[in-house]
Amino acid sequence: MQASGAQPSAARPGVASKQYKHAAIVPIRDEITGVTTQSLKRRIDAARSKGADLVVFELDTPGGYLDSALDIAHMIENLRDIGTVAWVNPQAHSAGTIISVACNEIVMAPSSTMGDSQVILFTGEGVDAVPEELRPKIYTPVLTRFRSSAKLNGYSEVLSEAFVIPEREVWWLENTATGEREFVFREEKLKRMGEDAQQDGAVQKVTKAILGMGESGQHAWKLVDGYFDIVTGKDVSITQPVERDDELLEMDSGRAHAFGFNKAIVAGEDDIRARYGVATISRLDETWSEGLTTWLTSPYVRGFLLILVFLGAYVEFHTPGLGLAGLVSLIALAVFVGAPYLTGLASVWEIVLIVIGLVLIGLEVFVIPGFGVAGVTGILCLMAGLVATFMPGEPGHSTPFYVPQLQPTLDALYTGLKTVVIGLLASIVGMFFLAKYLPRMPLFQKLIPLNEGPESVAVEDPYHGLAQPGDNGVSLGPLRPAGKARFGGMLVDVVTSGEYVEAGEAVQVVERTVNRVVVRALRG
């Protein structure tokens, strides 16, 4: 086996070809989202303001949203006044690989991996690759970005495609005359080695003779049989093709170095100082507000906010005036929509859809009698808008209305549906308990007093229980029809129903309404 220890000096671990003064380490951790994009913009500006001439993106990510990764890669490629390094520590998969290849240089921790950037699709039978008819629309933005980055930073475009498309069969060839090594697809390999998939061994010999290669393949291309692993310090044999047509390219740090992606092994900040000659290093992490925004966009927090929205609205509709419950509901809705809007998940049209839904529901409740088209349409608009705030955009779609096709978008759609449905069901259960138990709670009674009973709103009886229907008394003067009558020791203002009563006649109470006492004469 022939080792590939003859590497350019710039590719060896140690000193980089270009030296810098101040480096800023910018960590990129966990899932890559719109929050990551906005955070990186802020932190790159902060690095520039600190005088950094090198930004080291420390990657530890399984991937994330494709549109966010493409935006970040485009942003990094457009940095001309600052050097960029992707430090894979310890993983940069999928979207993380897109970002890494966009940097001027890639370095990796001793035990680290990168690769596997396939765009996957959800079908009725499960997860699958993107079908042929959809590939031009979905693959084009990803492949364009990989090819642009590879060409700009000196990486293999062939291997970059193998990150994305599993059908790419990649061979590693070496020119026996010049020592040049190159990665090629199967068709190019057959051409350079004078082979034909349909030819037998005898015909291939004739082809080689015509091309002037000879039996031994002198002055021709041959298959690379091994490389030197800078991590283990040993020669490693390889089997060809280096990437089969049934797998995606994924590399550890040693293999990535041999393939021209990883320029050095970097275990810590001391290695960064030694390689790039920087005198000072600053670390720029996410701010607490960026972390809070990420937390607020988690399905669990958003589900809780949705419950607050529904329960707050329910309590507000069942209590007079605009109170605390309505305020809580409005704040919860603002956070529910605002957090994903800041991360890039939600856009203006989704917020407009939610507002239209609320307006239609309000018209149905307060203006239009009964429950009909406006109410149903409002509920559908509201639910669609709420679910859509969970979904990122997809490359290739210029309008907000589209059928999701990429797996991350479909996963987000499922998460949105599940969160909204569970939040709605939990709210219904909460409404039941609020209707049954909340009016009895002391705290609720302090906030919203119970309705007054008859005994608390009745006018005080000036006759202290006397002159009730059936009680007998004596008129003190003529009743024409009003006058006074004595009931025991109490003088009472009375009135007849129209008859005339002489003074001193016996009377009986026939009706009592608050302070109005109606009597009739008791005659034989």
Q: Which two tokens stand for residue 125?
A: 């039978």
User: What is the rounded CA–CA span in Å between residue 508 and residue 505?
Assistant: 10
**What CATH number does the domain located at 9-166+248-286 have?**
3.90.226.10
Answer yes or no: are the C-beta atoms of 138 and 396 closer than 8 Å: yes
Low-confidence ranges of the chain (pLDDT < 70): 1-13, 120-137, 196-219, 319-322, 343-345, 369-371, 393-402, 405-408, 438-460, 524
Q: Bridge partners of 108? A: 88, 265
- Predicted confidence at residue 111, as pLDDT, reads 94
User: What is the rounded CA–CA span in Å between residue 260 and residue 250?
Assistant: 13
CA 196 to chain centre: 50
User: What is the rounded CA–CA span in Å between residue 134 and residue 230?
Assistant: 40
- Predicted confidence at residue 388, as pLDDT, reads 86
Q: Which two tokens stand for residue 174?
A: 């070496």
Query: 22-29 and 280-283 as β-strands: parallel, antiparallel, unpaired?
Result: parallel
Q: Which two tokens stand for residue 58?
A: 């420390």
Which one, of 396, 391, 399, 412, lies nearest residue 130 by Cα?
396
- Count CB atoms within 10 A of the CB of residue 479: 23
**What CATH number does the domain located at 459-521 have?**
2.40.50.140
User: Which residue ranges make up each domain of the chain?
Assistant: 9-166+248-286, 168-247, 289-346+389-447, 459-521
User: What is the rounded CA–CA span in Å between residue 25 and residue 269?
Assistant: 9
- Predicted confidence at residue 289, as pLDDT, reads 81
Q: Bridge partners of 281? A: 23
How far are the Cα atoms of 364, 369, 376, 379, 384 from residue 372, in angstroms, in the given order? 8, 9, 6, 11, 19
- Predicted confidence at residue 12, as pLDDT, reads 44
> How long is the chain?
524
- Predicted confidence at residue 151, as pLDDT, reads 93
- Predicted confidence at residue 445, as pLDDT, reads 56
Answer yes or no: are the C-beta atoms of 460 and 470 closer than 8 Å: no
- Predicted confidence at residue 146, as pLDDT, reads 92
21-72 pLDDT, tens per residue?
999 999 999 888 888 998 999 999 999 999 999 999 999 999 888 888 999 9
103-140 pLDDT, tens per residue?
999 999 999 999 988 776 544 444 455 666 666 667 78
Answer yes or no: are the C-beta atoms of 519 and 509 closer than 8 Å: yes
Answer yes or no: are the C-beta atoms of 416 and 388 closer than 8 Å: yes
- Predicted confidence at residue 398, as pLDDT, reads 56
- What amino acid occupies position 334? A
The DSSP symbol for 166 reads: T
